[in-house]
A and B are shown apart, each in its own frame.
Chain A
């Protein structure tokens, strides 16, 4: 049955699709009823709680075929990946480090590449996990670091800016930006590190830089 779904914190489109019986999120994302949302958010995995997503009827995407012929239905399964790039505070990659990524009860043993990057295909409805870095490259080695998948808000939201600054180690305070000094300090520090005008205001320029430096 067709309906609009209201995005909750922690939702990403692959998860919404899976929850509604789709293996291919593009059926939803590319649906004309979602064109405004697609234009606004650009990235199907970075939605804002409250966003309305149109969920088309399952019937519509079923192929029709003559009843007297055999048909092979291929399931177009889009994979979902989690990519993390681990660096220390001074951007030195945490390279070649053994890591354990635990997602929804499943443990993936991974090793970061020379740039500190980890990549793992994850379940379409992955929600949360933990990361544990082994070895002695970081003082956080062997600590269990919580990862909340799908909780990153769009860059034009304060919560999205704070979360990215926090991920980058700038300690911007609570997600709602309520610690104005911490947020201001983090924005300025980020601007300073990236040679853009230092004014403490996370405007379009800074947002765009922040999105680029953060990686999404």
Chain B
């Protein structure tokens, strides 16, 4: 519906304020005349609003400009309005404070009170606006000025110090001072008194409190405001609109009653009825303009927040005083219905007739958009060999992690919206058990958009037949939102280390070597469900001196448990003839299986070797020996980096 579209989208709404996107204006088109003479067409490119944030009276005490702790919610809303809308982030703002029309007992324009009422409310609305400005740019000096120049029922003073200290101590529950009596009250009062009387301590407290209210929201006075801080007294950046632009005007009967109540000094009626009904009129508006907009302070119609009302009155509608007056019998007048309660023509133009902020009734709550982030969780990638971080995928290796080792896994969160504020995503390892194995995850919570690295630590090993059942799980409010692919906790054999163990010099010649290896978990006994096998491939062979081989084929030893110790391998060949000189070569590597994760015939890292038998002549004697060295070896589908070896058998005299 076009009318709804004109209202834009509400970003957030609470008792303390409303934030929203103002609808884009219809695209400008310029109707011009060509010229056969000297005429031209002046085109002025307009200022327009893209978004707004309204801060309600409830975030201030009545007739005071001190900003109460609960405004933290609106600061968060403003921050997320900026973050979630590219047309708002970085767009310049201008702040407009508004007071209510009642002053003393008499509003009537032309009466003895009218001028002083306008002036008083101009100052008060300007003070509220500059208080918000100072908060947004985190400049406590403005607050210090408000503090030292008291106005009306200001609670700047010890009351405000107490509220700030309480807020900082309690993380911002209410600012009420009526806490339970206890022994620390006198110490507290003395501290409040100290701060109240020391400008330096005060400004320090202001700054802490501002940071508490704003979190990561901080604006730059020279970049984020409409006049770029170029004018005197924030002209163009901060305005007090006095009581000129009320949203609600009482019926003439009600107004007469309140006037009478004032004459009767009937504070109950004034404070209990008139002022609460007027609350909608007391507000601070943050107007956000099209990105790149900038105004010249000297040309900007509004006076600064410190100036008097003359500049405002100049911009009134020709019937401005009628518009802002209470003149309707029997019924209230509301801006959203009649659009005729603002005296200031300029403000009505720039703030937008259709803005939900220019309405006495709270805007409908934003369409219920539940917090429903999109979460994706990566694999627990098992490197081969294991590396502590960011393993690259080993081809065909099931997702798994060694016990007591860590892997980083990426968790990506998108669509973490304003509705998610105060919630968090809980990360845990699902299906942990003595059969499935156990693991832990850190951190256990995420509460933002982005890609986060979480660390998984392997715990108890998964029992054979239960591989791939552990999962990283992300929950929101107890409901599972995402899971990683399943993984296993298991130790895998790595490295192959040989040492010379003994000479062989009989029918065959060669040597025996010890065979050792490691567990990638660091604990050898954890390899109890892995098996390994050597794979040997005959290479070039000179025949004679070496006997011919029936066929050149790959030989597997058969699998042995990976947690064996004291294993010895033998590298022998049939006794070669005494000459001629020649060699007989073999390649060797090791593969493994894991009964926990199901890895099958995977290369055991660092287990490649060359075995070289040589026949050579020393003076007139023919001799043989065999050498084993680590080497990068490829046999079939497996390639292994060099294992640890580098020795030669004693020489054997031939024949």
Residues of A within 8 A of B (CB): 12-14, 25, 43-46, 78-92, 94, 117, 119, 122, 126, 131, 136, 138-141, 145-153, 163, 166-169, 171, 175, 181, 185, 188-189, 192, 198-200, 213-216
Residues of B within 8 A of A (CB): 27-37, 39-47, 289-296, 299-300, 314-315, 317-318, 339, 345-346, 348-349, 353
Q: Is the CB of A151 within 8 A of B35?
A: no
Q: Which of B34, B41, B346, B348 contacts A80 (CB 8 A)?
A: B34
Cα–Cα, bound, A79→B38 (Å): 12
Cα–Cα, bound, A196→B46 (Å): 22
Q: Which of A13, A168, A189 contacts B345 (CB 8 A)?
A: A189
Among all A-B residue pairs, the 5 with the closest Cβ atoms: A139-B292, A216-B39, A83-B40, A169-B44, A90-B299
Most chain A beta-carbon neighbours within 10 Å: one of B29, B44, B290: B44
Cα–Cα, bound, A148→B32 (Å): 6
Instruction: Name the A residues within 8 Å of B45 (CB-CB).
Output: 86-89, 94, 138-140, 169
Cα–Cα, bound, A14→B35 (Å): 9
Q: Is the CB of A78 within 8 A of B40?
A: no
Query: Nearest chain A CB to B63's CB is how many angstroms away?
Result: 32
Q: Is the CB of A185 within 8 A of B349?
A: yes
Q: Is the CB of B339 within 8 A of A82?
A: no
Instruction: Name the A residues within 8 Å of B314 (CB-CB).
Output: 192
Q: Is the CB of B292 within 8 A of A136?
A: yes
Q: Is the CB of B28 within 8 A of A145?
A: yes
Instruction: Name the B residues within 8 Å of A167 (CB-CB).
Output: 30-32, 41-44
Cα–Cα, bound, A213→B41 (Å): 9
Cα–Cα, bound, A134→B32 (Å): 21
Instruction: Name the A residues within 8 Å of B29 (CB-CB).
Output: 145-148
Q: A136-B292, A138-B292 are in contact. Are A82 and B32 (CB under 8 A)?
A: yes
Query: Nearest chain B CB to A116's CB is how many angstroms away?
Result: 9
Q: Is the CB of A82 within 8 A of B36?
A: no
Q: Which of A88, A117, A163 contacts B31 (CB 8 A)?
A: A163
22 A-B pairs in the complex with CB atoms less than 8 angstroms apart: A12-B33, A14-B36, A44-B36, A45-B36, A84-B30, A84-B40, A87-B43, A90-B299, A91-B299, A136-B292, A138-B45, A145-B29, A145-B30, A146-B28, A149-B34, A152-B31, A153-B31, A163-B31, A167-B32, A171-B349, A185-B317, A200-B318
Instruction: Name the B residues within 8 Å of A215 (CB-CB).
Output: 39-42
Q: Is the CB of A192 within 8 A of B315?
A: yes
Q: Closest A-chain residue to B314, C-beta based?
A: A192
Instruction: Name the B residues within 8 Å of A192 (CB-CB).
Output: 314-315, 345
Q: Is the CB of A81 within 8 A of B36?
A: yes
Q: Closest B-chain residue to A44, C-beta based?
A: B36
Query: Nearest chain B CB to A148's CB is how many angstroms away?
Result: 5
Q: Closest A-chain residue to B298, C-beta based?
A: A90
Cα–Cα, bound, A45→B28 (Å): 22
Instruction: Name the B residues within 8 Å of A214 (CB-CB).
Output: 41-42
Instruction: Name the A residues within 8 Å of B43 (CB-CB).
Output: 84-87, 167-168
Q: Is the CB of B296 within 8 A of A148?
A: no
Given contacts A14-B36, A80-B34, A92-B296, 18 further A-B contacts (CB under 8 A): A12-B33, A14-B34, A81-B36, A87-B45, A89-B44, A89-B45, A89-B47, A138-B45, A139-B45, A146-B27, A152-B32, A163-B31, A166-B31, A167-B44, A169-B44, A200-B317, A216-B40, A216-B41
